[in-house]
């Protein structure tokens, strides 16, 4: 692990500080990264994408996890979870591509609409930021729901009974019991979703299109195109810094990660 995981990252770190022409130490790569509009734009585009994805996945996975944990009949709980997770065993790329078929201007949705209403519609959805957010949110929802469920299932049912015995309503129950106690799952889920969203390449390419690239796309085209390793390394390191910041909320949870018996 040390050899194949830590060393490569340190090596990349070093590359990002080296001047491509002379080979000496420099901060120029970072300066030019933040001064060039294309990098600057894609950096903020990436952040915007990731935050929107988190927003939607929290918004939808909280009710979903609540549903699977408390509303649904216990017998069907595992089935519901499996149903939710199974599609994500298919390859990421194929699913993204299938969404192309559905969402494109000659896709399944427009066909359906025109079939039933005789209207020709244009969705203008595919190859936009919206489509990337959509594609990644679906993945985020699955992940966050799963982790939230894991936290929610450990909540002591007596707390909920106590709440209703003492006259508290549903809103109190969610605000005072379920939300605070499932917070660890929510945090881990969001951080992982964030990290996957800022680093993903396939969904932004297939659904988002290439005109407004995110960092991962830019990184790849830099490597495959100009083979400018130092610039690519700089982009990689910018991502690493963002991730380190994103992991800060996890620190509060460290104590819960234990391997003991």
Partner 1 sequence: MNNSKSILNNLLYILFFFIIFIIYLPIIVMIIFSFNSSKYQIMPFRDFTTEWYYRVINDTQYLEGLTNSLVVSFTVSLLATILAFFCAYSLVNSNFRGKSILNLFFLTPLVVPLILIGISLRFYLSAQGYEPSLYLVTIGQSIFVMPLAILNLSNRMSQIPKNLEEAAWSLGSSRIRSMFEIILPSCKFSLIATFILTFTFAFDEFIIAYFLNNFSITLPIKIWTSLVTGFDPAINAVGTLVFLTSLTLGLTAQLLFMKK
Stretch 60-79 residues interacting with partner 1 (CB under 8 A): 60, 63-64, 66-68, 71-72, 78
Q: Cβ-count burial of 10 within 10 angstroms (0-12 exposed, 13-18 middle, 19+ buried)?
A: exposed
4 binds partner 1 (CB under 8 A): yes
> Which residues make Cβ contacts (< 8 Å) with residue 240, sequence separation at least 6?
9, 13
Which one of residues 17, 55, 92, 179 is an interface residue with partner 1 (CB under 8 A)? Answer: 92
219 binds partner 1 (CB under 8 A): yes
Considering only residues 176 to 215 of the shown chain, the ones binding partner 1 according to CB under 8 A are 191-192, 195-196, 198-202, 205-206
Per-residue binder mask for partner 1 (CB under 8 A), 126-165, x = binder:
------------x--xx-----------------------
Number of residues that bind partner 1 (CB under 8 A): 78
Query: Which range binds partner 1 by CB under 8 A, 17-25, 31-39, 154-162, 243-251?
Result: 243-251
Q: Least separation, in Å, of the C-beta of 24 and partner 1? A: 17
State which residue, 155 or 240, has the beta carbon closest to partner 1.
240
49 binds partner 1 (CB under 8 A): no
Q: Least separation, in Å, of the C-beta of 6 and partner 1? A: 8
Query: Which range binds partner 1 by CB under 8 A, 36-44, 104-112, 122-130, 177-185?
Result: 104-112
Which one of residues 38, 226, 247, 252 is an interface residue with partner 1 (CB under 8 A)? Answer: 247
């Amino acid at each position: 692990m040390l050899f194949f995981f830590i060393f490569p990252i340190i090596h990349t770190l070093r590359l990002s500080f080296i001047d491509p022409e002379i080979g000496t130490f420099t901060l120029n790569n970072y300066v030019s990264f933040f001064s060039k509009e294309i990098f600057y734009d894609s950096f903020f585009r990436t952040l915007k994408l990731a935050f929107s994805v988190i927003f939607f996945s929290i918004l939808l996975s909280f009710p979903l996890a609540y549903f699977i944990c408390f509303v649904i009949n216990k017998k069907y709980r595992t089935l519901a979870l499996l149903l939710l997770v199974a599609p994500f065993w298919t390859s990421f790329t194929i699913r993204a591509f299938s969404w192309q078929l559905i969402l494109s201007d000659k896709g399944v949705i427009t066909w359906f609409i025109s079939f039933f209403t005789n209207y020709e519609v244009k969705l203008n959805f595919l190859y936009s930021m919206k489509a990337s957010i959509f594609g990644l949110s679906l993945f985020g929802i699955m992940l966050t729901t799963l982790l939230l469920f894991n936290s929610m299932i450990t909540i002591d049912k007596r707390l909920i009974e106590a709440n209703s015995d003492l006259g508290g309503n549903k809103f109190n129950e969610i605000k005072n019991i379920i939300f605070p106690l499932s917070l660890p799952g929510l945090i881990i889920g969001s951080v992982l979703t964030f990290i996957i969203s800022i680093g993903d390449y396939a969904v932004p390419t297939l659904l988002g299109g290439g005109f407004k690239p995110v960092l991962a796309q830019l990184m790849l085209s830099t490597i495959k195109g100009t083979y400018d390793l130092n610039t690519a390394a700089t982009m990689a390191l910018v991502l690493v810094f963002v991730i380190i910041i994103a992991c800060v909320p996890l620190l509060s949870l460290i104590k819960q990660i234990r391997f003991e018996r």
